Chains A and B, each alone.
Chain A
Amino acid sequence: MAPARPMLDGVELPLAQRIASEDGAVLAQHDVPALEGDFLQDLGRRATRFTLTGVLAGAGAEEGLAKLRDRFHAAEPVPFVSDIGTATKVDKVLIEEMGVRELAGRPARFEYSLTLREYAPPPAVEEEAPPALPPPPPVPTTATLVVEVIVEGEPAFDFSRVTVTTSGTGADGAPVTRTLTNRNGNVWTEAGFPPGQHTVQAMAEAPDSRTGSAPAQVREGETTQVTVTLQAATVVARRFLIHFWFDKGFVEPCMREALQRVGDYSNAHPDEKLLIVGHTDLVGDAGVPSSGIRYNQSLSERRARAVFGFMTFGRDRAAALADWNELRRTQTGGPPTLKDSWGTRQYQYMLQDLGFYAGQVDEVHGDATTASIRDFQRDKGLTVNGTMDGPTWSALIEAYLDRDAPAIPESRFLPNSSAGCDGGILKWLGCEEQDPVRNTEDAWRPNRRVELLFVRAERLPCQQPQPDTFNLPTPGAVSPSWCLGPGNRSQRICFVTPSLQPCAGGPAWCRQPAEPGTVTVRGRIARADGTPLANARYFLIAPDGLYLHTDSSGAADLGEVRSGPQRGRPILGRTDADGRFSHPDPTPVGTYILEVQEPVVVRLADDPGLEAKGNVVCKRMDGTSDFNVLVCGGVATTFELEVTNATRVGGAGSNVFVATRADPGDVLITAVTPAGTCAAPRSITWTGGLPVRGHGLQRRVPRATAGQTTVTATMSSTSVTRSVDIFIVRLTLDVDADRDGTVEVDGTGKDVWQFGAGRKGAVLLCNCDNDDKAAGNLEMDNENVVVDGAADVPDLAPLVVRQSGPLPAGLSLVLSVSDKDKIRVFAQRASTAAALIGPEAALPAEVAVTGAAAADVELGMEGTRFPSVTFDGLVRLTLALREGSTEIATDVAEVRVAPWVMPSHLQTTEELFVVEILGLPGFPANASFIAGLQSAATAAGVTLRQIRGAPFNEDPWAQDFMEIGYTRVPGRQMPVVLNAPNPRELDSFAPGELLGPDFGLRRTLANAAFNTLDSHGNLEVSPPVTLPTGAEFKLGRIYHGRGRSGNPFNARVREFLRAQLVQKPFVVDTDWLAVGHVDEIISFVPSTAGKPFRMLFASTTEALRILRALRDAGRGGLKLFTGKSRTPFQERTVTQILGNAPLLAQNATCQARLDGVESVMAAELGLDPAADIVRIPSLFIEEELAPGFFSALMPGMVNLLAITRPDFARTQLVLPRPFGPVLAGVDQMEQDVRTKLAALGFAASQVRFVDDFDTYHVNLGEVHCGTNSRRLAHATPWWEQTDF
């Protein structure tokens, strides 16, 4: 084959020996169900790849090669021409790989190998047109008001106590009141605020009341910012409003609900006094402004007196009736007068309210009115003549006031007294027209009002002139004397800030609505079948007295005739074609009055408990529902009883209902008439249950007391009678949810277990002790189905099923648990109690609780296991009220099995353990060691228990076979020993010798092979610590060595420790230690200096520092391990140690590992390495027979026993004697440690060095390894731990 001659970027490659091209298609394979073969999509071809090999030779070879190399490095496309390239229409290529080899012995001759890839220019960037501009914002029609409230000098002021309200007029002149609710700190922002002139008022609640106000000119589309400075407030007066018909003091029926709320408020606020103050509008005699001052004074007092009589009728019937009977009389003569000239409208209202008159309240005494008067007279035993004579008026007033009458006691009123004058209570005041809400001389109902003011004050802040009607109808009728004068007749409202002024401090009270908030009113009038009452005339009155009227466009409009003969009368509105009505402006929360001026009888649509009285409907509007009105289609002749807030039992048609005490709301029984029909007042008579205020078709059964109530209703007109039986059941499962050791009664918050002080959730003991061991029982108490004797009773947590009261037939109380494997429930907390629920196959997961109907039943419960990886410790107990298998109601308590907790060295030591060794191969008798230990124990006042006899005495390592922790429930703690999972001679000590009464055991499944990392010298816990993050570990944190490859720390133990939750474990690096235990290098001791503890930590640096100091002082000849000969612990000098390079290298290695451990300890425990860690001189040596692993060369003093006592002076530390270099009779290593411990408060007598050299030390252990301890629980109970 003739050589090809391709050209690459102008360089001819004349001796190309091989050119190859490679093309490929890009195929995408798609999965198609059931398709045989592949469905491939051709996505075009790949860039062609060329490979060229050949030789460059001759004079231009090097130059050409350099040019190619430049192109290669530039990574830019280059022209390429070749026959084979032409075939694929390639113009430019990228050099992908380039290899060159100079041939030996062949100067200026190079072999080359090039890989080229077809260059495809990048596609042009498609430019997207920018998105269209958004439409311009709509022209604002409202504004935003931003109110900043400040309290000077009190940056920490609690602004959640502050209420911000506005009052003023909108741009259209309409009054606007708002309560701002959108608060962020001390800034309230109200979007959609109506433009206009407003006053912003801020007020902080008592105690420490503050008020402040500022004007706000709010402009359309703008954000208006105002700042209100709160200052010590005047007394705040909570205001309820009652409003009146023009020139009348009659309290209309719909005001009854508002006044009953006043009574409720008074009952709920016994520390507040009530003042009743009457007002009039500015229309005087004959409608001539400013000419009727005396008249209006009298009128304002009549209104106040009417309200006072209404509010006190329940306790002073005669006085109230006397006033009302005087008020109703026709006026004769000029003011002052108590006669208020009530007429047809007023008695029509009363007759309608009492259910005698269902016609229009139209002031026309027609036949219907006459008939209703006759009915009333007949009902009351009066002469039946159809006329409103005196006796009829009196009886009607009495009946009207007698409905749900409040009875505000005298003690709730301010005194009418001064020095030497006692006029009883201040019953009412009249302020004529001196305090208009709106300064208009038109008739305006909001000005015609009585304010009921609740204040925390003991008397009026200013003098008051005697009321004009004070001695009417007879002197002394109101009070024996007036003691609050003389006052100023033109300053009758001196005790409050005028309505048209903002509160600005001073003695005058600052009035605030007792029920703040606004609603937007809308409603519909329709028949039961949905047919609307279209185009119907009506008028609607807001709680502040404003007639709500709209013009033809739906905008708010004047709702009251302002002048002329019809002044003060409402301007009627009309419903739309769908029977709807509404008002666009927000209006106050409260009672609204709708009078339908059509010949219909109506009632509220959504309240079937109400009778239909006539054309007037009252509704409290708070934003939760619309004002929907039902037009009655006929008089009901029958009814059924509906029961709400209770469950029917006994199947369909049964009249037996059940409710529990815990459910919300009374049980309501409603007489429901057939759809479209209505029942008139008094048409249903009831027995059983209690009346529901304002609801003649309803009775209620409160839940306060468990028991059975039969409620019967009879329709007198048809003698239809219905009855229901209501059972109120006390379904209560009580536990010690507040963890105070006592079971609460009707406890709350028990259903969700929570960690933390003051939180709720009962605790259960894992009953793992053996209280009847003396009787020969070898089982733990929770391993059998009996209560293990009287001593076991306190270990059972109480669980009380409260007396339920009688249950309907077929119902029962059933107790169940969420996991019967984790808990056992006994029938009683008594030694003879039988198990009801438990893990055994023979025991169920639920059981009927008998006997609870008549008395409380106390059960006992025990935990059968500690929390684990498969058990979070929580068990849910459910007491269910069941009918057959149907659950009607439940009460739930969540309990937690107490975890196993490890005490730290800071906990009080109660008992010490050591194994008596009589002599073993390589381990001589330890009597001397025990004597030293005993001496320290005696000094501390702690019992030292010697573990004696075979097989125990073949295992000196008392620390390693068990960890004595504790478990705890309120008022009770119990030591629980956790046995180590290694098979060893001491295995049977804990189950055989420790397990017993009030000493529990938690067994761990033994390892198949011994693993030193699973010894409990490798399991320790820190004292309580707080991390820099703020995380608080009130019981300290568990730490252990992490284990080695093939010898991991026992997974079951690790998971068990984690599952206890409260001492979050972490691992440290002890792999490098031959024994591998954390106690070889870390210990914690108490301290009286600063932090209550220090971490003692092994340090080779410290040991070598001491040795070098001795050498430098010419004491290199001092000996360590004097008299010892066993390799490698044989006697040697300071100089020999410091000259032993391999030993120094080993200790440097150990120090590096120690540094890593220290970092972990400091980080995990939040320790300050400088302040919290005390470095103890230590020397290590590599194990000759196990290279790579290290043991203590010098007895490890960190490996100590802390015998901790509440009295620090009795605390003892027992450390291994280091056998360090002795100078002037003082072991220099000991001395270093003594000095460091003295700084923590330890006296010399509290620090004891014992000789464990030939026993424990040469066998790679020290004092801590050879001892064990039982300690008391932490001061903080585990359930208060909240960081995990």
Chain B
Amino acid sequence: MTEPSGIVAECLAYLEQVERKMASTPIKVPPPEGVANYLEQHFGAAVAGLLAEYLVEQGDGGPGWKTLAAILYLGRVDDPVAEEALQRFAAATHIEDYRELAGDTLVALADRRGGRPQV
């Protein structure tokens, strides 16, 4: 197994850092929207593949905050891999809240992509 490098390593380091910081707070786990905000602001779409792969591979098994953060982040990036990952995740998850959020995210993605013409 090779060490991740570059932007991926930076992203993984961030996720580890934020999780560690929040563990001792009342939040206990990072706020998913805050994490998604951070990922979007700092990495743009560059870590979409990483988060997409994470979402599909972990499914319902990962920490809830990270799953939610991944869904929210993938919903903001313009990358086909994000949509595919969200579709696969939505089809596979057994958690209603996740499925609902993933579904809403997919609808929002479709709306954005097939935007209506200006009048």
A1018-1057 CB mask vs B (1 if < 8 Å, else 0) is 0000000000000000000000000011111000000000
For the complex, is A1202 an interface residue (Cβ under 8 Å from B)? Answer: no
Nearest-CB distance from A1055 to chain B (Å)? 15
A1010 and B31 form a contact (CB under 8 A) = no
A1015 neighbours in B (Cβ, 8 Å)? 26
A1012 and B31 form a contact (CB under 8 A) = yes
A1186 and B37 form a contact (CB under 8 A) = yes
B2-26 CB mask vs A (1 if < 8 Å, else 0) is 0000000000001001101101111
Cα–Cα, bound, A1009→B63 (Å): 7
Cα–Cα, bound, A1044→B104 (Å): 14
Cα–Cα, bound, A1265→B27 (Å): 11
B37 neighbours in A (Cβ, 8 Å)? 1186-1188
Most A CB within 10 A of own CB, among B34, B41, B68, B71: B34
B41 and A1187 form a contact (CB under 8 A) = yes
A1047 and B28 form a contact (CB under 8 A) = no
For the complex, is A965 an interface residue (Cβ under 8 Å from B)? Answer: no
Cα–Cα, bound, A1074→B37 (Å): 13
A1186 neighbours in B (Cβ, 8 Å)? 18, 30-31, 33-35, 37-38
For the complex, is B44 an interface residue (Cβ under 8 Å from A)? Answer: no
- With contacts A1046-B71, A1048-B97, A1189-B33 taken as known, whether A921 is within 8 angstroms of B28 at the C-beta atoms is no
For the complex, is A1259 an interface residue (Cβ under 8 Å from B)? Answer: yes
Cα–Cα, bound, A1187→B34 (Å): 5
For the complex, is A1077 an interface residue (Cβ under 8 Å from B)? Answer: yes
For the complex, is B32 an interface residue (Cβ under 8 Å from A)? Answer: yes
B35 and A957 form a contact (CB under 8 A) = no
B25 and A1259 form a contact (CB under 8 A) = yes
A920 and B24 form a contact (CB under 8 A) = yes
- With contacts A1045-B101, A1046-B68, A1074-B34 taken as known, whether A1185 is within 8 angstroms of B18 at the C-beta atoms is yes
A1167-1205 CB mask vs B (1 if < 8 Å, else 0) is 000000000000000010111110000000000000000
B64 and A1010 form a contact (CB under 8 A) = yes
For the complex, is B119 an interface residue (Cβ under 8 Å from A)? Answer: no
For the complex, is A698 an interface residue (Cβ under 8 Å from B)? Answer: no
Most B CB within 10 A of own CB, among A1045, A1048, A1186, A1260: A1186
Nearest-CB distance from A1099 to chain B (Å)? 22
Q: Which residues between 582 and 619 of chain A lie within 8 Å of chain B, taking CB atoms?
A: none
B109 neighbours in A (Cβ, 8 Å)? none
A1185 and B34 form a contact (CB under 8 A) = yes
Q: Which residues between 940 and 983 of chain A lie within 8 Å of chain B, taking CB atoms?
A: 956-957, 960, 982
B97-108 CB mask vs A (1 if < 8 Å, else 0) is 110010010000
Cα–Cα, bound, A1077→B28 (Å): 13
- With contacts A1046-B71, A1187-B34 taken as known, whether A922 is within 8 angstroms of B28 at the C-beta atoms is no
Q: Which residues between 211 and 253 of chain A lie within 8 Å of chain B, taking CB atoms?
A: none
Q: Which among B26, B33, B64, B67 is the interface contact of A1077 at CB below 8 angstroms?
A: B26
- The chain A residue with its CB closest to the CB of B62 is A1009
For the complex, is A923 an interface residue (Cβ under 8 Å from B)? Answer: yes
A412 neighbours in B (Cβ, 8 Å)? none
Q: Which among A960, A1010, A1048 is the interface contact of B29 at CB below 8 angstroms?
A: A1010
- The chain B residue with its CB closest to the CB of A921 is B24
Cα–Cα, bound, A1265→B25 (Å): 10
- The chain B residue with its CB closest to the CB of A1077 is B26
A1261 and B68 form a contact (CB under 8 A) = no
A901 neighbours in B (Cβ, 8 Å)? none
A1074 neighbours in B (Cβ, 8 Å)? 25, 27, 31, 34
For the complex, is A1226 an interface residue (Cβ under 8 Å from B)? Answer: no
For the complex, is B95 an interface residue (Cβ under 8 Å from A)? Answer: yes
Cα–Cα, bound, A960→B26 (Å): 8
For the complex, is A415 an interface residue (Cβ under 8 Å from B)? Answer: no
For the complex, is B54 an interface residue (Cβ under 8 Å from A)? Answer: no
Q: Which among B18, B26, B97 is the interface contact of A1046 at CB below 8 angstroms?
A: B97
B28 neighbours in A (Cβ, 8 Å)? 982, 984, 1010, 1012
Cα–Cα, bound, A299→B103 (Å): 103
Q: Which residues between 1072 and 1122 of chain A lie within 8 Å of chain B, taking CB atoms?
A: 1074-1077
Q: Which among A1048, A1189, A1260 is the interface contact of B26 at CB below 8 angstroms?
A: A1260
For the complex, is A125 an interface residue (Cβ under 8 Å from B)? Answer: no
Q: Which among A920, A921, A1048, A1075 is the interface contact of B27 at CB below 8 angstroms?
A: A1075
For the complex, is A430 an interface residue (Cβ under 8 Å from B)? Answer: no
B31 and A1189 form a contact (CB under 8 A) = yes
Number of interface residues of B (CB under 8 A): 33
Cα–Cα, bound, A1017→B41 (Å): 30
- The chain B residue with its CB closest to the CB of A1183 is B34
B34 and A1260 form a contact (CB under 8 A) = no
Cα–Cα, bound, A1074→B97 (Å): 20
For the complex, is A1008 an interface residue (Cβ under 8 Å from B)? Answer: yes
Cα–Cα, bound, A972→B25 (Å): 38
Nearest-CB distance from A215 to chain B (Å)? 81
B95 neighbours in A (Cβ, 8 Å)? 1008
- With contacts A1185-B18, A1185-B21, A1187-B41 taken as known, whether A1045 is within 8 angstroms of B33 at the C-beta atoms is yes
Nearest-CB distance from B111 to chain A (Å)? 16
A1046 and B32 form a contact (CB under 8 A) = yes
Cα–Cα, bound, A1074→B29 (Å): 10
Nearest-CB distance from A268 to chain B (Å)? 69
B72 and A1046 form a contact (CB under 8 A) = yes
Q: Which among B23, B26, B33 is the interface contact of A1075 at CB below 8 angstroms?
A: B26
A1183 neighbours in B (Cβ, 8 Å)? 31, 34
A920 neighbours in B (Cβ, 8 Å)? 24
- The chain B residue with its CB closest to the CB of A984 is B28
Cα–Cα, bound, A1046→B36 (Å): 13
A645-670 CB mask vs B (1 if < 8 Å, else 0) is 00000000000000000000000000
Q: Which among B17, B31, B64, B68 is the interface contact of A1076 at CB below 8 angstroms?
A: B31
A1185 and B17 form a contact (CB under 8 A) = yes
B97 and A1012 form a contact (CB under 8 A) = no
- The chain B residue with its CB closest to the CB of A1017 is B26
- The chain A residue with its CB closest to the CB of B19 is A1185
B101 neighbours in A (Cβ, 8 Å)? 1045-1046
Q: Which among A922, A1017, A1187, A1188 is the interface contact of B24 at CB below 8 angstroms?
A: A922
Nearest-CB distance from A1078 to chain B (Å)? 12
- The chain A residue with its CB closest to the CB of B29 is A1010
- The chain B residue with its CB closest to the CB of A1184 is B38
B65-100 CB mask vs A (1 if < 8 Å, else 0) is 101100110000000000000000000000101100
B65 and A1009 form a contact (CB under 8 A) = yes
B34 neighbours in A (Cβ, 8 Å)? 1074, 1183, 1185-1189
A957 and B26 form a contact (CB under 8 A) = yes
A1254-1281 CB mask vs B (1 if < 8 Å, else 0) is 0000011100010000000000000000
Nearest-CB distance from A1083 to chain B (Å)? 16
A1012 neighbours in B (Cβ, 8 Å)? 26-29, 31
B71 neighbours in A (Cβ, 8 Å)? 1046
Cα–Cα, bound, A960→B25 (Å): 11
Cα–Cα, bound, A609→B104 (Å): 79
Nearest-CB distance from A980 to chain B (Å)? 11
A984-1019 CB mask vs B (1 if < 8 Å, else 0) is 100000000000000000000000111110010100
Interface pairs (30), CB distance under 8 Å: A921-B24, A984-B28, A1009-B29, A1009-B63, A1009-B64, A1011-B64, A1015-B26, A1045-B101, A1045-B104, A1046-B32, A1046-B33, A1046-B98, A1047-B32, A1047-B68, A1048-B97, A1074-B34, A1183-B31, A1185-B14, A1185-B17, A1185-B30, A1185-B38, A1186-B18, A1186-B37, A1186-B38, A1187-B34, A1188-B33, A1189-B33, A1189-B34, A1259-B24, A1259-B25
Q: Nearest 4 pairs between A and B by C-beta?
A: A1186-B34, A1009-B64, A1260-B25, A922-B24
Q: Told that A1010-B64, A1189-B34, A1265-B26 touch, could you supply 13 new A-B pairs with CB distance under 8 A?
A: A922-B23, A960-B26, A1017-B26, A1044-B32, A1046-B32, A1074-B31, A1074-B34, A1076-B27, A1185-B17, A1186-B18, A1186-B33, A1260-B27, A1261-B25
Residues of A at the B interface (CB closer than 8 Å) are 920-923, 956-957, 960, 982, 984, 1008-1012, 1015, 1017, 1044-1048, 1074-1077, 1183, 1185-1189, 1259-1261, 1265
